């Protein structure tokens, strides 16, 4: 056996070990989720059932799933609407200090959410927004530096000549935006919506502080709260809860994948 064959076998062994490390947690998750009598061990279940999934979609857990959908979809949609409304003028108007403003947005994007959590909390308290809606507004504000920069750069790729031709033909500004700018910026909108959705879906700190009650939590906080409930860890429930928690974000990715594949070309800072 030559040195090449030995190296190939060692590479295959190393790859198999890495694959085992990656697959084992997912195998544990699936086996325990479908095992009504899960004990947390990596073993084939004696019986297979959907009891754990039923528990993960009922009661407070089911409410938390709905809260997560509302939070993520609401944040993504509001972020896109506000970013479009603000980014289009920045793209089309020669505003003094525009480049400085855009680079300041990049700087603001580096600011961690924990650095502004205190003013956000007291503002929400004063306006009666210590609830899910308050989290949506807060996350939209935190997302804007990044999403506004992205949308502005996507709008820059839309030829101005198309808008001018439509204006000559008698189209209004709203018609130009709706029929020309937005369709040609569909990839950018998909990218912004996806990142806003996944960011809100995974958000933990703001919902924990704003919601305050278990029925008002999204799944990200509910998963944390489920550990040690009633003095014991329910492995089957947690495994099913984790799968349900991961499913929407994965589903949104596959729904928007085609648009996002062509949308990353717009990422960058242009003068």
Q: Is residue 165 part of a domain?
A: yes
Using one digit for the tens of pLDDT, what is the confidence trace for 21-49? Answer: 776 777 878 888 888 877 777 777 777 88
**If you average pLDDT over residues 230-245, what whole number do you get?**
81
Using one digit for the tens of pLDDT, what is the confidence trace for 97-122? Answer: 777 877 787 777 777 777 788 888 89
User: Is the same domain home to 45 and 130?
Assistant: no
Share of the chain above pLDDT 70, in %: 89
pTM for the predicted model, two decimal places: 0.82
User: Is the same domain home to 27 and 45?
Assistant: yes
Q: Is residue 223 part of a domain?
A: yes
Question: Among 64-73, 100-109, 146-155, 190-199, whose mean pLDDT is lowest?
Answer: 100-109
User: Is the same domain home to 110 and 128?
Assistant: yes
Residue 87: give its domain's CATH number: 1.10.3720.10
Domain count across the chain: 2
Comparing CA positions, the residue from 58, 63, 51, 59 lying closest to residue 239 is: 51
Phi/psi at 159 (5° precision): -60, 130
Q: Residues near 250 by Cβ (< 8 Å), separated by ≥ 6?
A: none
User: Is the same domain home to 74 and 31?
Assistant: no
Whether 265 has a pLDDT exceeding 60, the answer reads no
Higher pLDDT: 224 or 87? It is 87
The pLDDT assigned to 70 comes to 95
Q: Is residue 80 part of a domain?
A: yes
Give the structural domain span for 188: 57-266
Largest CA distance in the chain: 78
User: Is the same domain home to 215 and 196?
Assistant: yes
Tell me the CA distances in angstroms from 266 to 41, 150, 206, 255, 260, one per residue in order: 47, 7, 30, 20, 10
Using one digit for the tens of pLDDT, what is the confidence trace for 176-185? Answer: 888 889 888 8
**CA-to-CA distance for 144 and 192, rounded, in angstroms?**
10
The pLDDT assigned to 77 comes to 96
Residue 261: which pLDDT band, with cuts at 50, 70 and 90?
A: low
Q: Is residue 19 part of a domain?
A: yes
Mean pLDDT of the chain: 83
User: Is the same domain home to 18 and 140?
Assistant: no
């Amino acid at each position: 056996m030559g040195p090449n064959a030995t190296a190939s076998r060692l590479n295959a062994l190393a790859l198999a070990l890495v694959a085992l490390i990656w697959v084992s947690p997912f195998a544990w998750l699936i086996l325990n989720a479908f095992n009504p009598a899960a004990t947390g061990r990596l073993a084939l279940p004696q019986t297979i059932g959907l009891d754990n999934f039923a528990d993960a979609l009922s009661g407070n857990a089911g409410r938390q799933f709905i809260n997560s959908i509302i939070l993520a979809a609401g944040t993504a949609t509001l972020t896109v609407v506000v970013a479009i409304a603000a980014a289009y003028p920045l793209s089309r108007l020669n505003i003094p200090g525009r480049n400085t403003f855009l680079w300041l947005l990049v700087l603001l994007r580096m600011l961690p959410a924990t650095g502004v959590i205190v003013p956000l909390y007291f503002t929400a308290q004063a306006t009666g927004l210590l609830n899910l809606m308050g989290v949506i507004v807060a996350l939209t504000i935190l997302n804007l530096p990044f999403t506004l920069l992205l949308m502005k750069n996507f709008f820059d790729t839309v030829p101005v000549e198309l808008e001018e031709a439509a204006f000559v033909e008698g189209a209004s500004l709203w018609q130009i935006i709706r029929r020309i700018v937005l369709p040609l910026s569909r990839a950018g909108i998909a990218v912004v919506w996806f990142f806003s959705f996944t960011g809100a879906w995974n958000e933990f700190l703001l919902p924990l502080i704003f919601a305050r009650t278990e029925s008002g939590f999204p799944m990200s906080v509910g998963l944390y709260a489920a550990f040690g409930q009633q003095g014991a860890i329910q492995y089957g429930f947690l495994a099913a809860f984790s799968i349900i928690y991961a499913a929407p974000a994965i589903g949104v990715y596959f729904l928007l994948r085609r648009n996002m594949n062509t949308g990353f070309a717009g990422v960058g800072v242009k003068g």
